[in-house]
A and B are shown apart, each in its own frame.
Chain A
Amino acid sequence: MTTTTAPVLDADGLARSFGSLTAVDGVTFQIRPGETYGLLGPNGAGKTTTISMIAGLLRPDAGSVTVAGVPLGDRPIEAKRHIGLVPQDLAIYPELSARDNLTYFGRLQGLSGSRLRERVGAVLETVGLTDRAKGASKKFSGGMKRRLNIGIGLLHEPRLLILDEPTVGVDPQSRHAILESVEALSTEGMAVLYTTHYMEEAERLCDRIGIIDAGSLQAEGTRDELVDLIGGTDTVTLAGTGDLEAAERALADLAAVEQVHRDRGALRLAVKGAPRAISGIVNATAGAGMTLSDVEISRPDLEAVFLHLTGKALRD
């Protein structure tokens, strides 16, 4: 979802070097309210360094960060109040209970009294740990610890939530729960910065995606925009009976269809923007006397985009 309201995060020309190593070089992007922005790149691409600068943990060599209209460089304490950071590490105190962990980090965020208790209770409910609130968190499963780790980032209801690879090492069930939570947060209007090297997570969650490699943002846009960047076409496979030859001719006349092949009892089409073109394709086959029994759309994925842009696989 992209809107025209003022951005919650404005990262402008961020750069950071460590000695002779340039970790991040001129990264610029914005995130608007309710938008989930994915920073997609392999390990060592510069995702965590970028996040550290945005979260105020690392001073950029160049560039600026503005959060909810507050410049982080000039007013760091005020800007950090709008940020919820969920680091890749399980940054919790294992000896303490979930409630004590939340209470501690809530106090650091300036919450106190009944407001603090209310928020701790609400977050425990959100992350599904109300029943385990009093037990030492070191006894939690990996998924429960991850959920607590995320809950801490939500305590003070930040305008910008930064999730740094939140599903690493998580079982499928917890992973599903985490992804659902993130989807729900963006529908509530929170801006989410999500880093991952799991392409399927980025495809599912992110309204826009920035592909980062070697410290630079190689490309950004919606999934479809990124696919279009590499001139990618979708493959549509039509199975059915009737006059396949007539259907082949009718489909070849459609503007979106670039190629048609007849392959035994099926037609294989190269289509630009298949989701938008599919109704025209179905109508054309029906008009040509072909009765469809199965339709399959295969789209180029972000893995292919990444490979095209960087010359290497996402998990390299």
Chain B
Amino acid sequence: MRSVLAIAWVELKRFLADRSNIFFVFIFPLALVAVIGWQFGGGGPGARVSVVAPEGEARTALVQSWEDAVLAVTVRDSAEQLRDDVARGDAQVGVVLSDDAARAFEDGERMEVQIIQGTGSQAPAVAQAVRSQTEAVASEARQVGALAGLADPATARDALSDASSAVPGPRLLVQEPEDPLAEEFSGAGQFDVGASGQLLLFIFMSALTASVAIIQARRDGVIRRTVAAPVTTGQTMVGLTLGRLVIALFQGVYIMVASAVLFGVEWGNLWVTMVVVLTFALVASGAALLVGVLVDNEGAASGLSVGLGLVLAALGGSMLPLELFPDRLRTVAHLTPHAWGYDALADIQRRDAGLLDVLPEVGALLAMAVVVLTLGSLALRRSLSRAM
């Protein structure tokens, strides 16, 4: 057992000693989690508004109300600058308040506000938030204006405030239209979907790219030397397989911990999540063994690993959520381990699923692991006998 652990440990050490892995293992996955979260998760630091308005009561009130809605507001000097902001994506929405509109606001009259909406996925949501806040502030201004004939503006505002608190507001029954897609994602935080996708993508990719290390060790005669030590061929095989598994698990645990700390990703029941990660990592390890043994050229193995890793990830829902796939494609996606992993993680993250709930997905992953590990072991045994 000590020999097996020594072989597995040295594989992880070699993986971490490769400096090119620092970016791809530690930085790149988290960058993708952040980008996907900001892109598809809505809200967050990405909600930005630029405004052009004359200084005064109207601008102050509007900016205050938008900031209360957690929008980042930038005041621009000209409409041209504002349009640039929207065109470049620096702001999802631009608001132009003319001098006449500002005067109408102060006089409690109807005002016209121009809203320029960008093309990003967040723009409609941000525009809606701007519209709601603006209407609320403008409505209050008009009510104050209506009372201004009876009293001075300050007294009118106080009276309006007193009246608002004395009369209970209407009971609002909000009925949202049925949206199955929204139901699928309900319970998922801003970064949750992106994090689970990237978790699967990078576990598989890191294990596959580590297959290059097997090819190097075969070429340099290190595996031959390992077998010449007092260890059995079986121990060598288990050690090499365990090495891939340790690398895959290391990558997975790192993404889980870092995304939870940096982006507040909720992984649900950690034990159940780890069962899913472990079974998925077993599939990845078997695939890595196969590539490492069947391919003799490091460059070819590297290209194959990246290509296969990306294609399987894309098909399995790691880049675009499976829920957005057409039904037929979603069925095909379940030929990949990623889709099974994605489904299981989605259930755990969004619907607090337990081990029994994700048993079908775990079972499918285990079946895949048995197939690829058996094939990989047979190929490795054949390769070891050739190496001798």
* Partner-B contacts on A (CB < 8 A): 52, 55-58, 76-78, 80-81, 83, 85, 87-96, 100, 104-105, 107-110, 112, 136, 152
Q: Which residues of A contact B221 (CB under 8 A)?
A: 87-91
B230 in contact with A110 (CB, 8 Å): yes
A sample of 13 cross-chain residue pairs with beta-carbon separation below 8 angstroms, ordered by A number, consists of A58-B388, A87-B225, A89-B224, A90-B221, A93-B10, A93-B217, A96-B17, A104-B10, A105-B229, A107-B3, A108-B226, A108-B231, A109-B229
By size class, the interface of chain B is: 20 to 34
Q: Which residue of A lies closest to B236 (CB)?
A: A108
Check B227 for interface membership: any CB of A closer than 8 A: yes
B6, B17, B229: residue with the most chain A Cβ atoms closer than 10 Å? B229
CB pair B222–A57 under 8 Å, yes or no, is no
Tell me the complex Cα distance, A88–B221, Å: 9
CB-CB under 8 A from B88, the residues of chain A are none
Q: Which single member of A85, A94, A100 contacts B225 (CB below 8 Å)?
A: A85
Provide the residues of chain A in CB contact with B229, threshold 8 Å: 80, 105, 108-109
Task: Give the nearest-CB partner of A138 in chain B.
Answer: B17
Interface flag for B14 (CB, 8 Å):
yes
Asked if B60 lies at the interface with its beta carbon under 8 angstroms from chain A, I say no
**Cβ-neighbour of B388 out of A52, A94, A136 (below 8 A):** A52
Residue from A58, A85, A104, A152 within 8 A of B6 (CB atoms):
A104
B179 on the interface (CB 8 Å rule)? no
* In the complex, B2 has a CB within 8 A of chain A: yes
Contact (Cβ within 8 A) A93 B222: yes
Q: Is the interface of B mostly helix, strand, loop or mixed?
A: helix
Query: Judging by beta carbons under 8 Å apart, are B220 and A57 in contact?
Result: no
Using a CB–CB cutoff of 8 Å, the interface residues on chain B facing chain A are: 2-3, 6-7, 10, 13-14, 17-18, 217, 220-222, 224-232, 387-388
Of all A-B residue pairs in the complex, the 9 with the closest CB atoms, nearest first, are A89-B221, A107-B6, A108-B229, A91-B221, A91-B225, A57-B388, A95-B17, A80-B230, A85-B228
Contact, CB under 8 Å: B230 / A81: yes
CB-CB nearest in chain A for B231? A108
The interface residues of chain A lying within 8 Å CB-to-CB of B225 are: 85, 87, 91, 105, 152
**Contact of A83 (CB < 8 Å), options: B3, B17, B228, B387:** B228
- Name B225's closest neighbour in chain A (CB-CB): A91
Residue from B226, B228, B231 having most chain A Cβ neighbours under 10 A: B228
B15 (CB) vs chain A CBs: closest residue: A95
Closest CB in chain A relative to B231 CB, distance in Å: 6
User: Would you call A87 and B224 a contact (CB within 8 A)?
Assistant: yes
CB distance from A72 to the nearest CB of B (A): 11
Contacts of A105 in B (CB 8 A): 225, 229
Once bound together, how far apart are the Cα atoms of A87 and B2, in whole Å? Answer: 24
Expressed in whole angstroms, the Cα–Cα distance for A203 and B236 within the complex equals: 38
Cα–Cα distance between A57 and B388 once the two chains are bound (Å): 5
| Least CB separation from B2: chain A residue | A107
Q: Is the CB of B230 within 8 A of A108?
A: yes
Look across to chain A and name the residue whose beta carbon is closest to the beta carbon of B221. Answer: A89
Contact status B228-A56, CB under 8 Å = yes
